[in-house]
Each structure stands twice: as C-alpha cells, then as structure tokens.
Structure 1
C-alpha cells in the first residue's frame, strides 16, 4: 500500500504538482510546509541521511539568502550597509530566504522522485506516448550497467599483463587508458549492432507497435486519483485567487487571511503528507500481517494446527465425552 506501489501516472501527477506549486508560490508558510514534508518523506525512504541532506540544503539556502541580500538591493527597511555603501534590506533578505528554501524543497522532492520512479515506470510512462522512444530508453538503461561491467572486466584482464590502471609510468598509464577505452568502444559498438538487429527482427520498428506493461488502474488507484485531483484543484484555485503570493518590493505584503487561504494551507499540507501517510500505513499493515503468520519450521500448516486454542480444546472435550 506504499506510494510507490500505485500507478506510475499518479506518482508523476503528485511530484509534478508538488514541485510546480513549490516553484510558483512565495508564501513562507507554504514553502516551509513543502520543505518539511519533503524532508520527512525522504527520511522515510532513505533513512537518516535524508535529514542530513535536508539540513545541508537549509544551511546552503541561508547562505544564498545572505549573498542575495548583499548583491540585490530593493525595499525600504534597511538593516545595515555594506562597506561600499549599499543597503541590506529586510525585503531582499526575505526574498533570498524564500528562494533558497524553494530550491531546497524542490531538490528534496526530486530526490524522493528518484527513489520512487524506477526504470520500468519511466519506460511505461514514455511508452504510452512514444513506444519507439520507450524502446530506445530501455536499451540505453540496459546498456549502462553492461558497459560498466565490461569496463571492469577489461581493466582486470589488462592488469594481468601489466597494463591495468595504476601500472607503469605516467606516459604508459595514458597509453594503457587509451587502449582500454578503444577496447570498450569497439565492444560497445558491436554489442549495440547486435541489439539493433535483435530489436529489428522482433518488430521493434514496425508501425503500430505498443508498449507492454504490468501496471493496471484499479479501484485503489481511482480513489487516490480522486484525492489528488481534489487537492490539486484547491491549490490551483488558491493560486489563481492570489492567496499563495507575497510581495517583496517596495515593502513585504502578505494577502489577507481568508477561507481560501486556510483551505490552501490544509489542502497543500494533506497533499504533501499523502505519500508519507501511505508509506507508513503500508509498512504497518505489512508488519501486522507478517506477525499473524504462524511461525512453523515448515511451509505447510495443517488445518488443525491453524485453529485457535479454544476451538481445539472444545473439540478435544467433545471426543473424550
């Protein structure tokens, strides 16, 4: 039930919506919600290193804000002056903080997307639009690990005859590196020609070719699609009504608090927490099911062994009576 198990189109819709809203909005509360939810989801997916990554991005965002305030000058609320006489204003510093945090949130969301979108999902989404491009992408994704493994084998083989990496003088190392590169390029060209012939013999370039996939849009995906569309609609309506913007020049101006403003906060918070909630519920459900499985030394459990203790006791008493 985790978010990655849903239809790839819904995964794409979520990340496109969240990243687009984060990039377009300038209201501090909404940007903070996006960043914090992104770090929380990344920590659920990738562990504690995601928190470290988020902390580093926040520090970098603050450093960018300081640099932005030192070089971009607008606003009327002066904080200090640089040695050359330029003013450092609250408006420019606030704008730098918002821009830095927006970029940090987008990077964390993209990091989460890299964990969710596997190669088969990318090929599936692209195959619906252009099957030939999906076939080319699948060949390229398959070729990358093959070329890497072949490069390692070539290096090991050349090391056996004294021409591997780190062997010989500097000039000899350069010559050996060029030799290994030539071997790798020759093998790669030959391999790609074989793959091209194989795809052509299987009808890969025929007109009307469709893309095969194992994904199907079931009722669970329909429910999530309705939720995503509703939340995205609320956020888009608030954007059109101007409830997600903040002006920085000449003074900081926030929109008045209204029902639409409160609704966009709630909708965006639910939207950002949706994958984390699905991930948590899915892992808890899996752990609960795993705990109910009888722990036996063999795979088969007889019906009598699978009965409850009370029912077995009643049956034993009935037999003795």
Structure 2
C-alpha cells in the first residue's frame, strides 16, 4: 500500500503537481509546507542520508538568501548597509529566503521521485506515448551498468600487464587510459550490434507491436486518482483567485485571510502529506501481517505433535 506501489501515472501526476505548485507559488506558508513535507517523505524513503541532504539544503537556502539580499536591492525597510553603501532590506531578504526555499523544496521532491520511479516505470510511461523512444531508453539504462562493469574488468586485465590505472608515468598513464577507452568502445559497439540483430529477429520494428507491463489501473488507483484530482483542483482554483502569491516590492503584501486561503492551505498540506501517509500506513500493515504470520509459525512441529498426542490420550 506504499506510494510507490500505485500506478506510475498517479506517481507522475503527484510529483508534477507539487513541483509545479511549489515553483509557481510565493506565499511563505505554502512553500514551507512543501519543503517540510518533501523532507519528511525523503527521510521516510532514504533514512539518515535524507537528513544530511535536508541540512545541506537549509544551509544553501540561507546562503542564497544572504547573497540575494546583498546583490539585489529593492524595498523600503532597510535593516543594514553593505560596505559600499547599498541597503539590505527586509523585502529583498524575504524574497531571497522564499526563492531559496522553493528551490530546496523542488530538489527534495525530485530526490523522492528518484526513489519512487524505477527504470521500468519510466519505460512504461514513455512507452505509452513514444514506444521507440522507450525501447531506446531501456537499452541505454541497461547499457550504463554493463559498460561500468566492463570498464572495471578491462582495468583489472590491463593492470595484470602493467597498463592499468595509476601505473607508469603521466604520458604512459594517458596512453593506457586511451587504450582502455578504445577497448571499451569496441566492446560496446559489438554488444549494440548483437542486441540490434536480436531485437530485429524478435520483431521489435514491426508496426503495432505493444510492450508488456505489470501495471493495471485497479480500484485502489481509482480512489487515489479521485483524491489527487480533488486536491489539485482546489489548489488550482486558489491559484486563480490569487491566494497563493505574495508581493515583495516595494513593500511585502500578503493576501488577506479568507476561506479560499484556508482551503488552499488545507488542500496543499493534505496533498503533500498524502505519500507519507500512504507509505506509513503500508509499512504498518506489512508489519502487522509479518507479525501475524510469525506468531502462527511460532509453534514447532514437535509442540503440535505433543498436543495431538495429549488429545488422543
């Protein structure tokens, strides 16, 4: 029941929606909600590495805000002056913080998308629109790890004859690197020729050929699609009503509190929190099932046999 187990089209719809809204909106509360939810979902998916990534993003946001305030001057509320006499204003500093936080939130969402979207999902989504491009993408995705493995084998083999990486003087190392690259390119070309012949013999270029996929749009996906469309509709309507923008020049102007503003906050918070909730619920359900199975198997065959003998006696 985790978010990655849903249909790839729904995963794509979610990430496109949150990234688009985050990039277009300037209201601080909405941007902060996007960043915090993206960071929480990333921590759920990637663990401690996501925490370090979030700290780096926060530091980069502060550094960008400081550089933006030092180099871009607008607003009527000065807070300091640079050594050359330019004013640092509250408006420019706030704008820099919002812009940096928007970029940080988008990067956090993209890191989550890299964990959710596997190669088969990308090929599936692309194959529905561009089948030949999907086939080429599948070939490239497979060729990259194979080329890396072959490069390591070539380096080990060349090291045995004194022509590996780090062996010899600088001109010799350059010549050895060119030799290894030549071997890898020749090997890759030969593999692509064999693959092309194999794919042609299987009818890859025939008209009307379809691709096999494991993904089906079931009732669970339909329910999630209804929720996503409803939340995205509310957010889009609030955008059209001007409840998601904030002015920075010459003074900071925030839209007045209204029912539309409350609705967009609630809808966007629910939208950003949806994958984390599904991931947590799915992992909890899986843990309960594993626990029930382990309890059922906790009795050994000898205990069951002893109980059976006791009942017969």
TM-score calculated relative to the size of structure 2:
0.95
Aligned to 1:204: 204
Q: Give me the whole-angstrom Cα distance separating, in 2, the residues matched to 1:76 and 1:2.
A: 49
Aligned to 1:14: 14
Q: Give me the whole-angstrom Cα distance separating, in 1, the residues matched to 2:252 and 2:7.
A: 42
Partner deviation per Cα, 1:208-250 (whole Å, 9 max, x = no partner)? 2222111000000000000000000000000000000000011
Give 3-state SS (helix, strand or coil) of 1:70's partner. helix
Q: Give me the whole-angstrom Cα distance separating, in 1, the residues matched to 2:20 and 2:242.
A: 16
Q: Give me the whole-angstrom Cα distance separating, in 2, the residues matched to 1:70 and 1:176.
A: 49
Aligned to 2:70: 70
Aligned to 2:297: 295
Partner deviation per Cα, 1:32-67 (whole Å, 9 max, x = no partner)? 000000110000000022112111111111110110
Give 3-state SS (helix, strand or coil) of 2:70's partner. helix
Cα offset, 1:202, TM superposition: 1.3
TM-score calculated relative to the size of structure 1:
0.93
CA RMSD of aligned residues (A): 1.9
Structure 1 position 267 matched with structure 2 position 262: no
Q: Give me the whole-angstrom Cα distance separating, in 1, the residues matched to 2:165 and 2:81.
A: 55
Aligned to 1:28: 28
Unmatched runs of 5 consecutive residues or more in structure 1: none
Aligned to 1:111: 111
Mapping of residues 215-234 of structure 1, within 5 Å = 215-234=215-234
Aligned to 1:251: 251
Aligned to 1:125: 125
Unmatched runs of 5 consecutive residues or more in structure 2: none
Cα offset, 1:295, TM superposition: 2.6
Partner deviation per Cα, 1:166-222 (whole Å, 9 max, x = no partner)? 111111111111111110011111111111111111111222222211100000000
Q: Give me the whole-angstrom Cα distance separating, in 1, the residues matched to 2:179 and 2:280.
A: 52
Q: Give me the whole-angstrom Cα distance separating, in 2, the residues matched to 1:57 and 1:162.
A: 44
